[in-house]
Amino acid sequence: MTKYKLVCFDLDGTLIENVKFSWQIFHDYFQTDAHRREDARNKFFNGRISYAEWAMHDMSLWKEKNAKKEEFFKAISHLKLMDGAMETLNELKRKGLRLAIISGSINILLEKVIPNYEDIFDDIFLSRIYFDNEGNISQMKVTEYDVEKKAEALKLIAQRENISLKECVFVGDYLNDIKVMEEAGLGIAFNCQEEKLKEVADVVIEKKDLREVLRHILD
Ligand SMILES: [Mg+2]
């Protein structure tokens, strides 16, 4: 038996190699209003609106532009799954570990890089866009579990599954992963350029191959 029972991954920059902020890709592609975005961003960081309100504000800007499903996928056609990601996920699964995504990213990106993601992850926390048959946005659901609240998502899964936080692993790359990494028994900073995250991580992996996490989790 391994020491760990649950492994949670961030998406942007961790499972997906070449993206730091997925939302920015769509803002650029659909050319949304920078001033309105800046205003909502400031409101969030000043504590005047919640993360979910901020996310819904920004997502609504795409709907206003009548953004189509095929355009969303065109905007992210250059995105690549991290090297070694599938081998890593399959191996952890084979060993009986529970897998989760805790991310502020969007379901479209996950679908693009791991089409069979429903078969692999037991829990998925991210924001979602759904389309109707004509490819128009039919529904938008935003996650509230980003930034500090990623830690709450980790606790939700752990409590429900009767897993102690010591038995949880979090793998992430950016500042929004700091809090959740502090809570998890094993924090792995991966593909990380942020000194603050490296400081709270138990392990820092410089090589851009996700298989590098396996020996830290399974040994
Ligand atoms: Mg990230």
Task: Give strand pairing partners of 140.
Answer: 129
Note the pLDDT tens digit of each residue in 143-181.
999 989 999 999 999 999 999 999 999 999 999 999 999
Residue type, 23: W
Asked if pLDDT for residue 1 goes beyond 70, the answer is no
Q: Is 98 left (phi over 0), alpha (psi -120 to 50) or beta?
A: beta
Question: What's this model's pTM, rounded to 2 decimal places?
Answer: 0.96
Ligand 1: centre distance to CA 63 (Å):
24
Ligand 1: centre distance to CA 135 (Å):
28
Asked if pLDDT for residue 121 goes beyond 80, the answer is yes
Cα separation, 163 vs 39, in Å, equals 40
Ligand 1: centre distance to CA 22 (Å):
9
Average confidence score pLDDT of the chain: 97
Note the pLDDT tens digit of each residue in 22-52.
999 999 999 999 999 999 999 999 999 999 9
Ligand 1: centre distance to CA 206 (Å):
15
Ligand 1: centre distance to CA 198 (Å):
13
Asked if pLDDT for residue 137 goes beyond 90, the answer is yes
Ligand 1: centre distance to CA 191 (Å):
9
| CB-based contacts of 169, cutoff 8 Å, min separation 6 | 4, 6, 7, 8, 184, 185, 186, 187, 188, 213, 217
Ligand 1: centre distance to CA 109 (Å):
12
Ligand 1: centre distance to CA 133 (Å):
31
Structure confidence at residue 219 as a pLDDT band (50, 70, 90)? confident
Strands (E), 84-136: 98-106, 123-131
Of the candidates 177, 166, 210, 203, the residue with the CA atom closest to the CA atom of residue 188? 203
